[in-house]
Amino acid sequence: MKLGQHSLKTVKQYKYLGIELTRTLRWHVYIRRILEKARRNMTHVWAMGIRGGFASVKTAEMLWKALVRSVLEYGCEIWGEGAFSDLEKIQIEMGRKILRCNSTLTNEVVLGELGWETMKARRDEMRLRYWAKIVRMQEHRIPKIVYRQSKTRLEMEDPPPTWCKYTRDLLYRIGLGEYWETEEVPPEDEWAKIVREKIHIREEEEWRQEMKDHSKLRTYITLKHKLEREKYLEIRNRYGAPELTKIRGGSNRLRIETGRWSTIPKEERFCEICDSGEVEDETHFMLFCPAYKELRENMWKELERFGIRNDEMTTHEKLNTLIGDRNAESEEYPMMIKIVMKYIEKAMRNRKMRQGVKSERTGTVHLPSDWKNDK
């Protein structure tokens, strides 16, 4: 083929509107490129105050959305039906950085604390909003003509996996199949609200189900009930907030977690700080360990001015009051959670100090490097 005097080359791929199109209409080349760009941008975002805990969670999320997520979502209305696990890993990695927690924090806790849905959910939502835009187009528009022909092909006995097929199946899966049949979609803002609600319901149900499959989330599943961002993340506390996240999410330094790494049976992960013979889990650390009795009493005393009486609550209610969502809707919640964060921070330092002393006596390990500061 020629264009004037110039021969047109036949190539395996070319870039059109910022997306690499291949002759087989596969997206692996494009996905590989945006992944590399997103990782570079994520490194830059990490250095913008997040690493040292100086940037607020709100600021960190804004940077993530503007510099990383936007790269991963460009044109996803067209190519986004795949699972693309590498894109999900990028989001989870960024979430852990924002929460300032390590890789032991499970995916479910990362999504739950930040109130994030999966990247797949975002792509599905954007696709359905684009589908409604096509439906509203006049019949002579080229996208509408292509859409009509593709929709007609779905009447085949075994239709190919086209863009239309995935869109149709998605609408039926989330309970919006009637719109596929009638194509009577509401105005743009109303449709966006309907789709947002349905996608969120699906994501929240799947998130709850996945939590049930993790034994280390035994406490978290009793504290967290909605897929929404936790209000304690709005509190600026460089040390207390990450420690609270770890306690809530089960990825902490308590024996219930560290004992799992050594394959110690759950019922034998005893507290080595108080030698009480009790398993050192989140409940023991927050409510019962005698090593932190004075700190705990001071915490409860400070909380009393908000009408909280620990002698009038069950164990579960106490734990939910301290690290759960029992008082999250209260106007005084920010002040209350600061008191809890202070207890966790001091208790963890106390625990580290006691571990160092005990290890020195047994001759197994050296004192912590920051022993003097903790003392």
Tens digits of per-residue pLDDT, 290-314?
999 999 999 999 999 999 998 889 9
Judge whether 2 lies within some domain. no
Residue 153's domain spans which residues? 124-209
pLDDT value at 126 more than 80: yes
Judge whether 224 lies within some domain. no
pLDDT value at 234 more than 80: yes
Judge whether 253 lies within some domain. yes
Give the torsion sign (CA, 77, 79, 80, 85): negative
Q: Are residues 237 and 359 in the same domain?
A: yes
Other CB atoms within a 10 A radius of the CB of residue 75 amount to 14
CB 255 within 8 A of CB 285: no
Provide the mean pLDDT of the chain: 91
Judge whether 283 lies within some domain. yes
Of 85, 116, 147, which closes a domain?
A: 116
Q: What does the DSSP 8-state code read for residue 365? A: S
Judge whether 301 lies within some domain. yes
Q: Are residues 323 and 287 in the same domain?
A: yes
Number of domains forming the structure of the chain: 3
Tens digits of per-residue pLDDT, 39-84?
999 999 999 988 888 889 999 999 999 999 999 999 999 999 999 9
Of 100, 116, 132, which closes a domain?
A: 116
- pLDDT at position 358: 60
Q: How far apart are the first and last CA of the chain?
A: 80
Q: Are residues 202 and 235 in the same domain?
A: no
- pLDDT at position 246: 94
Judge whether 218 lies within some domain. no
Q: Are residues 323 and 193 in the same domain?
A: no
- When pLDDT is cut at 50, 70 and 90, the band that residue 146 belongs to is very high
Judge whether 333 lies within some domain. yes
Of 116, 143, 176, which closes a domain?
A: 116
pLDDT value at 370 more than 60: no
Tens digits of per-residue pLDDT, 259-301?
988 889 999 999 999 989 999 999 999 999 999 999 999 999 9
Give 195's Cβ-side CA count (13 Å radius): 24
Q: Are residues 195 and 277 in the same domain?
A: no
- Give Cα separations from 241 to 230, 244, 263, 341 (angstroms): 11, 5, 29, 7
- pLDDT at position 47: 92
Q: Are residues 364 and 248 in the same domain?
A: yes
